[in-house]
Amino acid sequence: MDLELSESELAFQAEARSWLAANVPAQPLPSLDTPEGFALHQEWEARLAADRWSVVSWPREYHGREASLVEWVVFEEEYYRAGAPGRVSQNGIFLLAPIIFEHGTQEQQDRFLPTMATGERIWAQCWSEPEAGSDLASLKSTARRDDARGGWVLDGQKIWCSRAALAHWGFGLFRSDPEAQKHAGLTYFLFPLDAEGVTVRPIAQLDGEAGFAEVFFDDVFVPDADVLGAPGDGWRVAMSTAGNERGLSLRSPGRFTAAADRLLSLYAERPDPRVADRVVDAWLRAEAYRLYTWGTVTKLKDGGDIGAAGSVNKVWWSELDVALHETALDLLGPDAELESRWLDGYTFALSGPIYAGTNEIQRNIVAERILGLPREPKGAQR
């Protein structure tokens, strides 16, 4: 693992740092789960895209810079160090785009990627269902063939779709072959959230904002052109993003090293020996995550893939995030009520061990696929 940046990587880092210093809004934007905040975050995405900073690793024709993986990680570090806004477009950029690049047709790439890069069209991930969360393949929403119209008709319900209350399009899996085995017979669809037959019902999260929505499908027509990958191959298509979500792309280490640095500054302002060890531990864990990620980057550069190691990242970043925020709140004491950045960060951090696959499931994956431990007997009690 080589942690020395090359000259061109250092130049890229310097360019990103100075652009962010000149452009990051001085005041934090309002929550992206409010209509006002959502619109301002979309404007921020457009600002990033105008100077090719919204999707640095993408091809130039889609607003990217063709940045290498190393440059991408460097950019993310700079982004969070600069205190830049959360990415309202992250479902699209980090979860959908990689599979559009991998499985989408040229026409789909040309049609969907540019507006994703500019933040003009925001995407929601519609995977989970009321009875299908950890066991996603047990999903029941259906797609039936409509040859006359050249497409499919969707029915069913999705839940916990982040951003869906305000987003424009969704992506999700539907059971297109009821006879097939559980993981087979699923198809991956893209659909506008204002299509006829789609009902979006917002769900308030802990802070009262509609961070999620339930999405109901009642005879929703989707043309063949909006099927991603081959019909029936949806599970394989979907799983090619799961490693991304748990692993590198969604939670690059810059986010946590920046939070650890903020925690150190907070401690310097109000030292408190009760919390000192935890501050150091949080910093150590953020640094360990950073180094582990650079190890993953090295592996990827050498032609490997993330695979089950994404589950190691997932457990690590999500529990680290809780520890960082809890420690800050303990330091702040009653003043925490006035420090919305730490307080909001804490309430969101609490959900980290649940979304992107719960940590119980990730630990099972680590145990079975990385450590080679015996499979847990069905129905085992802990």
Please report, as ranges, the residues that interact with ligand FAD according to CB under 6 A: 125-128, 133-134, 160-162, 351, 354-355, 357-358, 360-361, 364
Name the E strands within the chain. 123-125, 142-146, 151-162, 169-175, 186-192, 198-203, 212-223, 227-228
Torsion of the alpha carbons at 142, 146, 152 and 157, rounded to the nearest 10: -30
Q: Which position among 7, 71, 245, 337 bears the catalytic label?
A: 245
Give the list of residues 6+ apart from residue 1 with CB closer than 8 angstroms, or none: 291, 294, 295, 298
Number of residue whose CB is nearest ligand FAD: 133
**Cβ of residue 97: shortest distance to ligand FAD, in angstroms?**
15
Nearer to ligand FAD, 127 or 189 (CB): 127
Angle, helices 273-301/69-81, rounded to nearest 10 degrees: 160
The whole-angstrom separation of Cα 351 and Cα 77 is 23
Nearer to ligand FAD, 64 or 172 (CB): 172
Nearer to ligand FAD, 37 or 64 (CB): 37
Nearer to ligand FAD, 81 or 183 (CB): 183
The DSSP letter of residue 65 is: -
CB atoms within 10 A of CB 336: 16
Asked if 71 is an active-site residue, the reply is no
**Cβ of residue 136: shortest distance to ligand FAD, in angstroms?**
7
Q: Which two tokens stand for residue 141?
A: 């929403």
**Cβ of residue 131: shortest distance to ligand FAD, in angstroms?**
8
**Cβ of residue 127: shortest distance to ligand FAD, in angstroms?**
3
State the catalytic residues: 245
